[in-house]
Amino acid sequence: MKRHPSLHALSEHHHHALVQALLIRRAAGQSPRRRAAVRRVARDYLRFWQTTGRLHFREEEEVLLPALARHVALDTQPAVMRMLAQHAVIRARIEQLATSLAANRNLEPELTALGQLLHDHVRLEENQVFPRIEALLTENELRRLGHRLTRLHGDPRRRPRKPSRKRRTTAVRKR
């Protein structure tokens, strides 16, 4: 589905969340001998959550939904209510995953449920919530909204280059 450019940043976040959901579901299906791989995927997902997932949820809740609320009562929008409920459940499952990881418990049931929930959550937003926002907000509102969203996974070609660590020295020739 073609997405309005102002929502591209959130859709890019969703792409990365779907990749994480796939990795989680694959790891959860591993044999018990692959417990280390399951734990690695859990740690990687928790890192992903800390670096990008939390910010993504905040932007949806603090930028996207207030813009929509200027047009409709959010509590009359079943997809929005489900989205917010899923945000709370995902946060709770992430906390439980972190606790289980620290306690060295079996992570497979939690990972399986979390992976499926992430997948379903992204599909809800992309297929129901975002089209509703695109239909109700004006072009100017969408553009202003886009300027307030973070590109968490931007094009590496657009990132500023890091200065080289090589020292510039003048070569001294020995004679």
Record the pTM.
0.76
State pLDDT tens for residues 1-19: 677 777 777 767 777 777 7
Q: Class for domain 5-149, per CATH?
A: mainly alpha
3-state helix, strand, coil in the chain (%, to 5): 75, 0, 25
Which amino acid would we find at residue 74?
A: L
Query: Cα–Cα distance between 175 and 164 in angstroms, integer?
Result: 30
- Residue 38's alpha-carbon distances to 53, 99, 101, 130, in angstroms, are 20, 15, 10, 33
Query: Cα–Cα distance between 130 and 22 in angstroms, integer?
Result: 22
State pLDDT tens for residues 53-69: 898 899 899 999 999 99
Domain ranges of the chain: 5-149
